[in-house]
Amino acid sequence: MPHLINHSSLPQRTFAAALCCTLSLAAFPCYAQAAPTSQELAQERKELEAELAEAQGQLDQLEGEIEEIQQELAEREAQLEATREEADATKVQVDETNQQLTERRGELGSHMRDSYKMGSSNLMRFLLGATSFEDLASRIYYLDKVSEARAEEIDEVNRLAAELATRQQELEEAQARQQAEVEEVESKTTEYEDMIAQAQEYYDGLDEEVRAKIAEEEAAREAEEAARKAAEEAARKAEEEQKSKDSGSGTAAGGATSASPSSEATSTQDFGSVSSVSVASGVYEQSEPAMVGFNTQSYTTVANQYFGIQSSKNYQHMGNYNSSKQRLSYAGGDMSLEFETYVQLPVTLDYSGDLGNPQAVCISADGSTAYVSYPEGHSHDSSQMGRIVRYNLALLREYGAMEGDMSAFATGVRLGDEKWRSCMTVGPRINMGHGQCMAIDPSTGYLWLSTRGASEYSDLTLIDTGSLSAVRQIRFHTGGTDFGSVITFDEYGNFYYVKRSGSTWGSSPAGSLRIYQGRISDNLDKVLIKLLPQSVKNPAGTTLQSVSWDTTTDTLYVINDSAILAVSMNPLLSGSLTAGNVRTEFFSPLREFEGMAFDAGGRAYLLVNRQAELMCLG
C-alpha cells in the first residue's frame, strides 16, 4: 500500500507571508535599505524554484499513490458488485427452491390423502386384483417406488434449499465484509484527496511566488539597464558639452554637430544590421542585440474593459482517468467560448506521473497531429531537460479515443497496451527549460522551442518534427531583458510574445501587457524583434501560460489559467488598436491552462492539466 507523506516536512513559508514581508520592506524609505539587484533576485528565484521542485515532487508522489488507491478502490468495488449480484441471484434461487419444496410437500400431502381415502380394503382390492404372482409383485414394487420417489424428491429439495440458504448467508457475510473494505479504501481516498489539496495549495502559493520573483527580477534588470543607458547618455552629453566648450562655438571645424541616432523602430527584416557566427554544429550566436530601437514617447496604452483579474491560485484538480468529457463554461467577460474534452492525454508512460507536467501544445495545419512538451521538472532554468511527444490525433479518432470512455487512451498507455501506445511518439531528451515556449511557424511548418536562457542570451531552437530532436539553434540577447516565456507565429513567418510591465513605463502602467513582434532570418541564424506601438492595460489573469495565433482571423490569444484575452492584431500592427479590439473571457471551473493552438481551419485546441487533456470548442 502507498505510504503517507509527512507534511510537517513541508516548508512553512507561504506566498502570503512573503508578500507581507515585501510590502513591509517597501514601506521604508529607499535610503533605509538598498533595493536588491537583479543578481540577488535571481539567486532568490533559484532558491524558490528549488522549493517549488521539492513541493512538486511531493505532489507527484501523492498523486501517484492516490492513483494506486483509486485503482484498489475500483477493484474492491468491482468485487463488491460481483458479490452483490451473486447474492441477488442466489436469493432468487432460494425463493424458487422454497416454492418447489412447497409444491412437492403439497403433492406428497395429496398422495397421502388419496391413500387414506382409498383405505385398506381398496388397497387389498388393488393387490388382490393381480392376475398372477408376477403381477402382484409388480403392484407391490410400484407402490413402494411411488412412495420412495416422492420422499426422495422432498429430500432433494430440502437439501438444495439448505445449501442455497448457507450460500446466501456466506454471500451476505462476504458482502458486508467487502462493503467495510470499500468504505475503508474510500476513507483513505478522501484522506489522500485532502492531502493533495493541501499540497496543491502549497505548490500554487510557491508557484505564484516564483512568478512574482521572476517579474521582480525582470523589473530590476530593466531598471538597471535603464540606469546604465541613462549614465551612458549623461556621459555622452557631458563629453559633447566638453567638446563644445573646447571648440568655443559648439560646432566642429567642418560644420554642424551630428544628430543623435533615431529612436524610431526599424524594420525587423533588416538583418544587415546584425551579424552572427557559428559557435558549434548547427548553433549560431548573434552579436548585436535582437531588440531594435523604439520611441517611448509615441508608445500608448489601450484601456480595454476591466472585468477583474482571474487568480491562478486554487485551481481545481479534476483527477485522472475520468471516463466522461469535462466542460469549461462561460463565467464572465465579453466572449462566449465553451470547451469540452477532445482527447484525454496519458500521465503515466514508463513510471507514475512521468507525463504529468505538460506545458505547451502545437497543432499541425490539418489538425491530425499534436506536439506536447514535457519538462522533467518545474524549474525555469534553460538547462532543464525534457521531451516532446507527438500524438497521432487521426489514429486516436479512428480508435475511438474521442468518444465513449474518455480515459481509454490514458489508461491503455499506462497499462502498456500497444494499440494505444502506437498513437504516440516520444522524442529524445533535449534541453527544454520550462517547456512552455513552443510554437509552429505555419509559413514553413517549422517547430520552434525556446529554453529562455539567462538574460545575457536567449535562444530559439528548431525541432525536427520527425525525430523530435533539436537540429539548429539561434542564440541572441535582447539588450538587457529576458526573451518572452511564450511564443506564437502568424502565417507570414513573424513571431510574437507578450510580457507584463514590472513597473510603470512611459504611459504604460505596471501590470499591462507589452506585445512584441519578431522574425527569424531566412538563413535561420539571426533574430530581430520590435516592440509593437501599443500595450493592453488590463490583462485577464495572473499567470501567463501561452499565446496563440488564429490565422483565419489574425487574432492573438493570451492564455492565463481559466482566462483568455483576445487581441485583434491588424489594428495593433497599424497602431490603431482600440478597447473594442480587445476581448476577455473567464471560465468555470477554475482549471490550469497550459497552452492553446489553432489548426489552419481556425479550430482551437486548449491544453489543460490536472487531468491532462486537449479540449476543443464545445
Instruction: pLDDT band for 101, please (50, 70, 90 cuts).
Output: low
Q: Is the confidence at residue 127, as pLDDT, over 60?
A: no
* CA 93 vs CA 284, 493, 533, 555: distances in Å: 81, 75, 82, 68
Spatial CA neighbour of 71 closest among 255, 320, 405: 320
Fold category of 272-315+323-617 in CATH:
Neuraminidase (2.120.10)
Between residues 393 and 12, the one the model is more confident about: 393
pLDDT over threshold 60, residue 254? no
Which of 98-107, 109-118, 221-230, 462-471 has the least mean pLDDT?
109-118
Residue 421 CA to its chain's centroid (Å): 20
Cell of 380: 525555469
Inform me whether the pLDDT recorded for 538 exceeds 80: yes
Over residues 39-69, the pLDDT tens digits come to 777 777 777 777 877 877 787 787 778 778 8
Q: Taking phi first (over 0 means left), then psi (-120 to 50 degrees means alpha), and beta for anything else, what does residue 119 get? A: left
Q: How many Å apart are CA 495 and CA 515, to the nearest integer?
A: 11
- Amino acid found at 349: L
Residue 123 has, within 13 A of its CA and on its CB side, a CA count of 12
Contact 559, 400 (CB under 8 A): no
**Is CATH 1.10.287.1490 correct for 10-26+34-225?**
yes
> CB of 323 within 8 A of CB of 407?
yes
- Interstrand relation of 527-531 and 513-520 (parallel, antiparallel or unpaired): antiparallel
Enumerate the domain spans of the chain: 10-26+34-225, 272-315+323-617
DSSP code string of 1-33:
-PPPP-GGGS----HHHHHHHHHHHHTS-TTTS
Q: Judge whether residue 186 has pLDDT over 50.
A: yes
Domains 10-26+34-225 and 272-315+323-617 alike in fold = no
Quote the pLDDT of residue 465.
96
pLDDT at 250 over 50: no
pLDDT for 27: 37
The Cα 62–Cα 142 span in angstroms is 77
Q: Which of 18-32, 203-217, 324-338 has the highest mean pLDDT?
A: 324-338
Q: Identify the residue with better confidence: 563 or 228.
A: 563
* pLDDT at 1 exceeding the cut of 80: no
pTM score: 0.64
Summarize pLDDT for 219-234 with one digit per residue, the tens: 777 776 666 666 767 7
Residue range 488-494: average pLDDT?
96
**Phi, then psi, of 82 in degrees rounded to 5:** -65, -45
